[in-house]
Amino acid sequence: MSQVKDPSLAEKGKMSYEWARDHMQILTNTIGRLKKSQPLKGLRIGICLHITKETSVLIMGAKELGADVSACAANPLSTQDDIAAFLAESGIHIYAWTGQTSEEYDWCIEQMLSHKPQILTDDGSDSHSKIHGNKKFASLKVMGGTEETTTGVIRLKALAKEKKLKYPVIAVNDAYTKHMFDNRYGTGQSTIDGYLRSMNLLFAGKRVVVAGYGWVGRGVASRCRGMGAKVCVTEVDPVRALEAHMDGFDVEPMAEAAKTGEIFITATGQTGIIRKEHILTMRNGAIMGNVGHFDVEVDAKFLLTESKSVREVRPNLDECSLKNGKRVYLIGKGRIANLVAAEGHPPEVMAQSFSNQLLSMIYIAKNHKKIGKNVITVPQEIDIQIAIDALKAMNVSMDKPTAAQIKYGQSWA
């Protein structure tokens, strides 16, 4: 059983899946290498990720390795309906469509969990949190899980700190090949894509304010500068603020940056980054959006409910007429702009993230009893293997250390 918006889109979804698969050589090589041994045979895998063409390659890969897969979306607005239709036709239990209400989004997660997954893969930890916070799912026997993004890892570590985590979770987000490649290069490019699709304005010469200078913020700031923008960074971490300054960006508090910024991009994973008091000081025509996981970084509630009027002037772009006479704009209702207003990361980027996910699922299946109820990082051997596979897929060669170099590097003398 599945529920999608339009089953007739399955053929279009198949073509999108094939396009992504053909550009995710790292992941398809991993699937091909493991297919004969069927390491996930007989296991029920639950997946709560953005339902995109790239995710479909991971989902179909898990199925090829023997798993019975159920899936739902990790965001009410990010599902690609043709992909959902293709997955449903391919035998995946999927509950996802774009434009879900909060109630429908919650229902879809519950439907995915009703298939009693033994391994749970999440992006943001909404399904992990439901297992821990909803008595309806208290009896589920979960071996372990994986988590894709910073926000979700924070939630899971909070559970572990309170000794409430029910099973081991691998923080895929913390793998170097994930946060370096996905968060920086992937979000950097897909954020520009989402903003351009929604506003279709020039970046060059504009003052862009990037909130947060973690891996995502670094990627976004770098790409905006590459488009010719004048970039300002806001931060609460002194080390990251120093790094942004040394990288050549202006660093200011949001209260100051709000007065001069023309385009705002939040990338912190925190709540209350652009608040009412900031919005009221912004220039007429300022554009705001968010590429953190949840819609809590920009005060969308104030913009959408307390403005004199709100109208959608372009796809995924709301014009909010404030009571002070200014007009400001919000991308994707404050939800993750690179997925709501665009298609998320390119396939080549997600190939590394999803190779981490797939190999981490297999690691959980084999080792869950040894790990304990903790949040752990991706084992180093997986991270290194993915880097090797990525270089091979890109036809990049590298040196190997000589015996003398290895000896020298291990000697105290």
Q: How far is CA 135 from CA 73, 111, 148, 161, in A?
A: 22, 15, 25, 21
Q: CB of 161 within 8 A of CB of 137?
A: no
Give me the pLDDT at residue 163, please. 94
pLDDT over 90 for what percent of the chain?
91
pLDDT of 178 reads: 85
Asked if 147 and 211 touch (Cβ cutoff 8 Å), the reply is no
**Best CA proximity match to 24, nearest among 48, 68, 55, 66:** 55
In whole numbers, what is the pLDDT of the chain averaged over residues? 95
Burial class (CB in 10 A: 0-12, 13-18, 19+), 69: buried
Asked if the model's pLDDT at residue 373 lies above 90, the reply is yes
Is the pLDDT score of 293 beyond 90?
no
- pLDDT, mean of residues 368-375: 92
What's the first-to-final CA gap in the chain, in angstroms? 66
What is d(CA 283, CA 281) in angstroms, rounded to the nearest whole number? Answer: 7
- 329: tokens are 């704009």
> Residue 157: its pLDDT value, please?
95
Q: Which residues pair with 139 in a beta bridge?
A: none
160-195, pLDDT tens digit by residue?
A: 999 999 999 999 989 998 888 888 999 999 999 999
pLDDT of residue 85: 98
pLDDT(138) > 90: no
Residue 375 in this model has a pLDDT that exceeds 90: yes
Give CA–CA dist 308/69, Å, rounded.
Answer: 46
For range 267-273, the mean pLDDT? 95
- Give residue 393's pLDDT: 87
* Mean local confidence (pLDDT), 228-237: 98
Residue listed under structure tokens 């987000």: 173
Q: State residue 116's pLDDT score.
A: 97
Give yes or no for residue 294 having a pLDDT over 90. no
Mean pLDDT of 211-220: 97
Per-residue pLDDT, 308: 97
- Measured torsion, CA atoms of residues 35, 18, 29, 339, in degrees rounded to the nearest 10: -110
* Rounded mean pLDDT, 334-363: 93
How far apart are alpha carbons 121 and 45 in whole angstroms? 8
Q: Give me the pLDDT at residue 1, please.
A: 83
Mean pLDDT for the stretch of residues 372-389: 92
Q: What is the 3-state secondary structure (H, E, C) of the chain?
A: CCECCCHHHHHHHHHHHHHHHHCCHHHHHHHHHHHHHCCCCCCEEEEEECCCHHHHHHHHHHHHCCCEEEEEECCCCCCCHHHHHHHHHCCCEEECCCCCCHHHHHHHHHHHHCCCCCEEEECCCHHHHHHHHCHHHCCCCCCEEEECCHHHHHHHHHHHHCCCCCCCEEEHHHCHHHHHHHHHHHHHHHHHHHHHHHHCCCCCCCEEEEECCCHHHHHHHHHHHHCCCEEEEECCCHHHHHHHHHCCCEECCHHHHHHHCCEEEECCCCCCCECHHHHCCCCCCCEEEECCCCCCCECHHHHHHCCCEEEEEECCEEEEECCCCCEEEEEHHHCEHHHHCCCCCCHHHHHHHHHHHHHHHHHHHHHHHHHCCCEEECCHHHHHHHHHHHHHHCCCCCCCCCHHHHHHHHCCC
pTM reported for the whole predicted model: 0.88
- Round to whole Å and give the CA distance between 167 and 30: 26
Is residue 202 a contact partner of residue 404, using CB atoms and an 8 Å limit?
no
For residue 150, pLDDT beyond 90: no
Q: What are phi and psi of 95, to 5 degrees?
A: -130, 90
Q: Angle between the 81-89 and 10-22 helix axes, to the nearest 10 degrees?
A: 100
Confidence of residue 413 (pLDDT cuts 50, 70, 90): confident
119 neighbors 145 (Cβ within 8 angstroms)? yes
Q: Decide if pLDDT at 43 tops 90.
A: yes
